[in-house]
């Protein structure tokens, strides 16, 4: 008999429910703006918009997209039982949109001189998923 007890005493990992359509649309080449318009709760679509804007040098736009994806992700996490802390594994693909948006928010915050927000978001990412922090940085 396997015991699935968290020996460290922290909250269990949060796994967002899968919503494959936005991921599939993005993978098929649909523009992130179209995906975000069709699926406004998709953190993944907002994270991709943030990445594209940042790459194009539109830092403030990237910040706004990332913040939207971050807040949409927080809403989804709370609906999934997350209590404001605990692991959000990058290995669980549906979590990646939120984690990417969080990373994008940190990156854009640093670029516009919001050092406190950059540090908060960077710490949040590392504490939520060390794998995401290593992979996305």
Q: What is the mean pLDDT of each run of 10 residues along the chain (137 residues)?
A: 54 96 98 98 98 98 98 98 96 98 98 98 98 97
pLDDT reported for residue 8: 61
Q: Of 37, 94, 88, 99, whose CA–CA distance to 66 is shortest?
A: 99
pTM: 0.93
Q: Are 92 and 12 in contact (CB under 8 A)?
A: no
Residue 107 to residue 122: CA distance in whole angstroms = 9
């Amino acid at each position: 008999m396997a015991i699935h007890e968290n020996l460290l005493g922290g909250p269990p990992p949060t796994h967002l429910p899968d919503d494959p359509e936005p991921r599939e649309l993005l993978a098929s080449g649909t523009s992130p703006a179209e995906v975000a318009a069709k699926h406004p709760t998709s953190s993944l679509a907002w994270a991709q918009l943030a990445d594209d804007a940042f790459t194009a040098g539109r830092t403030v736009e990237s910040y706004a997209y990332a913040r939207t994806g971050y807040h949409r992700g927080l809403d989804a996490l709370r609906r999934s039982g997350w209590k404001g802390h605990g692991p959000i594994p990058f290995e669980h693909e549906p979590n990646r949109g939120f984690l990417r948006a969080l990373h994008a928010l940190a990156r854009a915050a640093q670029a516009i001189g919001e050092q406190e927000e950059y540090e908060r978001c960077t710490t949040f990412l590392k504490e939520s998923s060390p794998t995401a922090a290593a992979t996305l940085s």
